[in-house]
Amino acid sequence: MADFDRYLARDDADPAREGVVYRQGAVWLTDDEFAELVEEIEAAIARRNRTAPSDDRTRHIISFVVVPDNASGPDAGTDPS
């Protein structure tokens, strides 16, 4: 979060031009399915982590946050309206 705050505090910050992305989604997963998902995400990032700095590359910070939703039942997390 501090990295994001520092970015937004810059006078030249331009989220749309610079490809700043925020995505959120909810999935129903077993513990095994969740572990598999984490491995897939980590593998995707690791493949890109092998590149070296260069004049035509911009460093991007990728943050992965997982928040368990402990609400129960099939309608948990849905909008009642």
> What's residue 81's pLDDT?
46
Closest by CA position to 77, among listed 2, 17, 25: 25
Type of residue at 50: R
What pLDDT is attached to residue 53? 93
Residue 55 corresponds to which amino acid?
D
The overall pTM is greater than 0.75:
no
Kindly indicate the confidence band of residue 3, based on its pLDDT and cuts at 50, 70 and 90: confident
Q: For 48-70, write each residue's pLDDT tens digit.
A: 988 899 999 999 888 887 878 88
Report the distance separating Cα 44 and Cα 39, nearest Å: 9
